[in-house]
Amino acid sequence: MDQGSGTRLGIAELRQLWSAYGHDLLVHDPGGRGECLVRRGELIATAEALDPVLDRYRRWVEDVQHDDDLLLARVRLRGAERDRCVDMARETAGVAANHVHFGCPVMYGTPVMYGTGAQAQEAPPVPEPPAAQWEPPVVVGVLDTGCDPHPWFRDRPWFEPVPEVLDADDDAGQDRQAGHGTFVSGVLLQHAPGAVLRTQRVLSSLGFTDDYTVVAGLRSLRLAAASRGEHLGVVVLTAGCHTADDECPPILRDELAHWSGSVVVAAAGNQGLSRPFWPAALPSVVAVAATGSDGAVAEFSNFGPWVDAVAPGVAVTSSFVRMTGNGGRDFGFASWSGTSFAAPRVAAAIATALHERRAPDEATRLFQPRPA
């Protein structure tokens, strides 16, 4: 298996990360071809499959949580079967493991690793995007850690703050991925200043989410847009996952089937692998890898025939929010690296194409990968 470079995360930090995420994480097939990260002991069942699943696994079921809007249930297991959740999902129709998605400056392996660009670096100011407002509006959905009222955003008529959680683990320091969504939104606005941004928090400040949360976030975006009478022209996802069988998680695939009227753009991931990274590797999604200043694909970036576009993703500068010593917030700027920051660059080009009544494919072609 291809291997990416990274720096080992200390044991104390690793335990803190596990604890802050709220439930155990399980590395399935560590070091093997099927390595992936899942919520330990958790199965996702469709409404139709739930009763058969409970009949089959009842003695190992600890808890069941229903979501009537999603027509899904989370089944939490107990005992030794918690470590068999991936295999159990393979054995039963209508059931899947709940794969953990990681924000794209993060890499994991055994042990968990952080790759190039894992932490934002303070940067000098860059020019504020012009206060444009396109008519008709081009609406871009951003699924990330939130978006704080940075001066770049707070006076724009469409802005609705989704405050960043800066210290979820209460260790008196800013979490590794805190500010990520504010940064991504800034990249979008720099290159599509007239777009309307709609933010949905799905990614934790420690850089983790899961299938269930991402699907719920996508659905919430769809419902909110419908209630406003808006059309989401572009949607950006900056996290993703690997799976044991290298197939897209079924609930994610099924939800994205509802987005055929929008252009979905996703970061290709930062593991330095050719292995499919979901949802970016779906044919219906524009997968974006990161390039450096020389235009070549960055060493940390995922790559492969499923990648549709490349864009600058090394030492990108954008809007950022930091904790201050008295518990306040300081709005400034940061430099960060990762495919998370290449994806919004391509999404902005697609939004601009829609504004100019051009086909989205015209914009994507400007970011074609170099021939291998």
The per-residue pLDDT for 10 is 40
Rounded Cα distance between 22 and 5, Å, is 28
Residues 6 or more apart whose CB falls under 8 angstroms from that of 39 comprise: 23, 24, 25, 26, 85, 97, 98, 99, 100, 210
- pTM of the model as a whole: 0.92
Q: Is 162 left (phi over 0), alpha (psi -120 to 50) or beta?
A: beta
The per-residue pLDDT for 18 is 53
In tens digits, the chain (372 residues) has pLDDT values of 233 333 333 434 444 555 555 458 888 998 889 999 899 999 999 888 999 999 999 999 999 998 888 889 999 999 989 999 999 999 988 899 999 998 755 444 333 333 334 689 999 999 999 999 999 999 999 999 999 999 999 999 999 999 999 998 777 789 889 999 999 999 999 999 999 999 999 999 988 899 999 999 999 999 999 999 999 999 999 999 999 999 999 999 999 999 999 999 999 999 899 999 999 999 999 999 999 999 999 999 999 999 999 999 999 999 999 999 777 899 999 999 999 999 999 999 999 999 999 999 999 999 998 776
Rounded Cα distance between 312 and 316, Å, is 7
CA atoms within 13 A on the CB side of 206: 21
Which of 8, 115, 111, 7 shows the shortest CA–CA distance to 338? 115
Instruction: Please give the single-letter amino acid code of residue 67.
Output: D
Helix (H) or strand (E) holding 364, with range, is helix 360-365
What's the token pair of residue 314? 């090394």
Q: Is 122 left (phi over 0), alpha (psi -120 to 50) or beta?
A: beta
The per-residue pLDDT for 172 is 77
Question: Reduced to 3 DSSP states, what percent helix, strand and coil does the chain have, rounded to the nearest 5?
Answer: 25, 30, 45
Residue-wise DSSP of 213-267:
HHHHHHHHHHHHHHHHT--EEEEEE-EEB--TTSS--HHHHHHHGGGTTSEEEEE
The per-residue pLDDT for 305 is 96
Which of 20, 56, 26, 59 shows the shortest CA–CA distance to 41? 26
DSSP β-bridge partners for residue 8: 113
Rounded Cα distance between 287 and 297, Å, is 13
- First and final CA of the chain: distance in angstroms? 19
